[in-house]
Amino acid sequence: MQMTNRIGARLQPLFVSYGAIAIALASTLAVSAVARAEETTIKDPGQHPSYPIEIEPHAVLGMGDIYGSTGAGVGLRLSIPIVQNGFVKSIDDSVAISFGGDFLHYSNCYYAERCGANYLLLPVALQWNFFLTRHWSVFGEPGLYVYKGFMDSCGNLAPCQQPSDFGIGPAFAIGGRYQFNETVTLAMRLGYPSSSIGVSFL
């Protein structure tokens, strides 16, 4: 019985991660279909909203197997445009520096269900935006992240393992936005070490 519980605890993060990926792929297909139905603006440079900073509070899913399970939490991302008319002058794109912080809680570890750990992730990335239509845009984000781990709880019978104290790793994401108006968007991101969904303010 105990072995079955441990196997179930190990498999649960996989189900959550694959479920999130399936939802993200379905959302991407839906976005593509809706974007095709709108008038395309990608070939008209400079048509996107001009803003000094994007402020994005969001909910976070930690899909990187950092502490034996999928983590969940909240975070904040700030993006500052550095090139308003992007790297490709013939399309409507822009480039920003994106950085922020995510706080995630992991509820179990590799060895037992009674372990827990918290992580602070500090990502920084180059964000390349492509404005497809008046409402839809997509982006890619290569970068790095710094993390700090804290042990949260440990049962008396659980052979808990301390989380990694400090480190740095590669970060990457693809995402999209739905523009409600000139200043508010729905922002979605699928990547490593975390994925997110939230509302951004331009």
Going residue by residue through the chain (202 aa), what tens digit of pLDDT does each one get? 433 344 444 444 444 444 555 555 555 555 555 555 567 878 878 788 889 999 999 999 886 555 556 788 999 999 999 998 888 888 999 999 999 999 988 776 555 556 677 889 999 999 999 999 989 999 999 999 998 887 665 555 455 555 567 889 899 999 999 999 989 999 999 998 889 999 999 9
Give SS3 for 115. coil
Which stretches of 19-68 are assigned E, i.e. beta strand?
54-62
Q: What are the boundaries of each domain within the chain?
A: 2-201
Q: What is residue 132's predicted lDDT score, i.e. its pLDDT? A: 92
Q: Do residues 103 and 77 lie in contact, with contact meaning Cβ atoms separated by under 8 Å?
A: no
Q: What is residue 86's predicted lDDT score, i.e. its pLDDT? A: 82
Tell me 40's DSSP state.
B
Q: What is residue 52's predicted lDDT score, i.e. its pLDDT? A: 93
d(CA 66, CA 116): 12
d(CA 136, CA 128): 14
| CATH, domain 2-201, list 2.40.160.20, 1.10.3720.10, 1.20.200.10, 2.40.420.20 | 2.40.160.20
